[in-house]
Amino acid sequence: MSREERRWCLALSVVVIILTSLPYLAGFGSAGKDWTFTGFVFGVGDGNSYIAKMLQGANGAWLFRTPYSAHPGAGIVAFLPYLLLGKLPRWSHGARAGNACAQ
């Protein structure tokens, strides 16, 4: 590979990195006091669902309880990997995201 080809490849890589980062930068930039950007640009519903399950685990839950019911329910053994991820030490979670989502 020639020196010119390396420069062209590097320049193209930098442009692609910048273009693909713009949606994430816009999300983080528009987040404010009332809501938090969780880092999902596509598959937002699924991604935030996983974050919610991890927050349940972080708040002490060992059984999954659906938040979409008027009745509290007993909870079931489901989504255990996400509940366990919520049990990781606090420094491994986004403190800002965890606090904003728990409000």
Residue 64, beta-bridge partner list: 76
- What values do phi and psi take at 31, rounded to 5? -70, 145
Query: Taking every pair of C-alpha atoms in the chain, what is the biggest distance, in angstroms?
Result: 67
Residue type for 17, please?
I
83 CA to centre of own chain: 14
Supply the pTM of this predicted model.
0.64
Residue 95, token pair as written in the block: 């403190």
pLDDT confidence bin for 99, thresholds 50/70/90: very low
> Has residue 96 got a pLDDT over 80?
no
As beta bridge partners, residue 76 has: 64
